[in-house]
């Protein structure tokens, strides 16, 4: 599947732009908690939430109701989704020449060794198990934001999906 626009046509997020994160999560409570955790982090993060794997691909490929969706700088992906599961979505993302450079973080309740192994075999950038404790969940999301958008060097020495500086 061809991407409708190149990922390099957005502003630099490290200095002035908005960080677009696609959260693929079918549990409304977990989506709300994730939104709250990012709200406490950085004002420039915009969280886009979709509830299943098919809609995630529609967002990424700018199809159907997501034709004007921004190119995400990161995907947070649950495994246990209705229809197409998170591992299937991950496989689709990582086989696409434009999408594969977007960091994909598995953020899931699963602790199963086979899920962890399979996610890394499919080139997930990180696997995080959602803590049950509210404060630990919030800290996990804050740590994720601090690492990926404050410490990590991203493709090309810039944040993913951004134009050269």
CB 34 within 8 A of CB 140: no
Q: What is the pLDDT of residues 45-91, one digit of tens each?
A: 889 999 999 999 999 999 999 999 999 999 999 999 999 999 999 99
Q: Tell me how far apart the alpha carbons of residues 17 and 120 are, in angstroms, rounded to a whole number.
A: 30
For residues 39 and 155, give the distance between their C-alpha atoms in angstroms, rounded to a whole number.
Answer: 25
Flag whether pLDDT at 96 surpasses 70.
yes
Strands (E), the chain: 19-24, 45-50, 74-77, 104-108, 126-129
Residue 113: Cβ-neighbour burial (10 angstroms; 0-12, 13-18, 19+)? exposed
List, in order of start, the domains of the chain with CATH numbers. Answer: 19-147 (3.40.50.2300)
């Amino acid at each position: 599947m061809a991407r409708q626009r190149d990922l390099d046509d957005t502003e630099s997020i490290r200095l002035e732009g908005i960080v677009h994160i696609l959260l693929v999560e079918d549990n409304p409570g977990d989506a709300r908690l994730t939104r709250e955790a990012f709200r406490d982090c950085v004002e420039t993060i915009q969280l886009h939430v979709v509830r299943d794997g098919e809609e995630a691909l529609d967002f990424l490929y700018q199809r159907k109701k997501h034709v004007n969706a921004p190119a995400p700088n990161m995907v947070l992906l649950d495994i246990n989704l209705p229809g197409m599961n998170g591992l299937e979505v991950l496989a689709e993302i990582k086989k696409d020449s434009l999408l594969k450079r977007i960091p994909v973080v598995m953020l899931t309740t699963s602790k199963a060794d086979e899920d962890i192994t399979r996610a890394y075999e499919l080139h997930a950038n990180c696997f995080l198990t959602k803590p049950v404790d509210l404060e630990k969940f919030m800290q996990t999301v804050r740590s994720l934001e601090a690492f990926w958008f404050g410490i990590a060097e991203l493709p090309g020495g810039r944040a993913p999906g951004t134009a050269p500086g």
